[in-house]
Structure 1
Amino acid sequence: MPMNAPTSGPQVPGMLPVEASYIENILRLNKGKLATVYTTFENNKEWNAKIFKGIIEAAGRDHLIISDPQTGKRYLIPMVYLDYITFDEEIEYEYPFGGAGLATYSPR
Structure 2
Amino acid sequence: MARPNNSQQPAGFYPQAQMPYGQQNPYYGMQPPYPPPPMQPPAGVAGEKGGINVPGMLPIEESYIENILRLNKGKLVEVFTTFENNKEWNAKIFKGLIEATGRDHLILSDPQTGDRYLIPMVYVDYVTFSEPIDYEYHFPGAVARYSPR
Q: Normalised by the size of structure 1, how large is the TM-score?
A: 0.85
The answer to whether residue 147 in structure 2 is matched with residue 106 in structure 1 is: yes
> Matched residue of 1:27: which SS?
helix
* Equivalent position to 2:96, from 54, 62, 72: 54
8 Å Cα contact 2:71-2:135 kept in structure 1: yes
Percent identity between the two aligned chains: 72
The residue number in structure 2 matching 1:45 is 87
How far, CA to CA, are the matches of 2:141 and 2:72 in structure 1? Answer: 14
Change (3 A) 1:68 1:6: farther
> Matched residue of 1:94: which SS?
coil
| Residue identity matched to 2:48 | G
How far, CA to CA, are the matches of 2:44 and 2:138 in structure 1? Answer: 23
TM-fit CA distance, 1:2:
5.0
Change (3 A) 1:6 1:55: farther
8 Å Cα contact 1:8-1:19 kept in structure 2: no
> Matched residue of 2:66: which SS?
helix
> Matched residue of 1:97: which SS?
coil
8 Å Cα contact 2:73-2:100 kept in structure 1: yes
Per-residue deviation, residues 21-57 of structure 1 (Å, max 9, x unmatched)? 1000000000000000000000001000000000000
How far, CA to CA, are the matches of 1:99 and 1:34 in structure 2? Answer: 26
> Matched residue of 2:107: which SS?
strand
Question: Within 5 Å, which residues of 2 pair with 1:1-108?
Answer: 1-9=40-48, 19-100=61-142, 102-108=143-149
> Matched residue of 1:19: which SS?
coil
Structure number with greater CO (CA < 8 Å, separation at least 6) is 1
> Matched residue of 1:77: which SS?
strand
| Residue identity matched to 2:137 | Y
> Matched residue of 1:9: which SS?
coil
TM-fit CA distance, 1:104:
1.2
How far, CA to CA, are the matches of 2:111 and 2:45 in structure 1? Answer: 42
How far, CA to CA, are the matches of 2:45 and 2:134 in structure 1? Answer: 26
The residue number in structure 1 matching 2:33 is none
Unaligned runs of 5+ in 2: 1-39, 51-59
- The CA RMSD over aligned residues, in Å, is 1.8
